[in-house]
């Protein structure tokens, strides 16, 4: 899968995950946030998210903290489902 992490209107990172078939730039055009902080590819390996790569067209790459931002996003929301 691919991902983009944007800064939301309050300055917090918010991840968007999407299929490999969708270009990073095409997804970027659909997002309401102005600042993209990172982008790349994400896999689940041995129960943990691993982020890598980037997108040349956007001129941005993955960052070491991306996997933490994404897993934290899921952890915060898992208690509110159901």
Mean pLDDT of residues grouped by 10 in the chain (82 residues)? 96 95 96 94 95 96 96 72 45
pTM of the full structure? 0.88
Q: What pLDDT is recorded for position 74?
A: 81
Alpha-carbon distance 79 to 63, whole Å? 27
Alpha-carbon distance 32 to 20, whole Å? 21
CA dihedral (47, 3, 55, 59) in degrees, to 10, reads -120
Range of the domain at 12: 2-78
Residue pair 42/2 in contact (Cβ under 8 Å)? The answer is yes
Q: What pLDDT is recorded for position 73?
A: 85
Number of domains making up the chain: 1
Q: What pLDDT is recorded for position 79?
A: 55
Q: What are phi and psi of 10, to 5 degrees?
A: -100, 5
């Amino acid at each position: 899968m691919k991902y983009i992490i944007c800064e939301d209107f309050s300055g917090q990172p918010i991840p968007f995950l999407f299929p490999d078939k969708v270009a990073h730039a095409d997804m970027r055009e659909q997002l309401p946030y102005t600042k993209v902080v990172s982008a790349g590819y994400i896999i689940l390996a041995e129960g943990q998210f691993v982020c890598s790569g980037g997108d040349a067209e956007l001129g941005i790459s993955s960052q070491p903290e991306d996997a933490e931002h994404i897993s934290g996003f899921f952890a915060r929301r898992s208690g509110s489902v159901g």
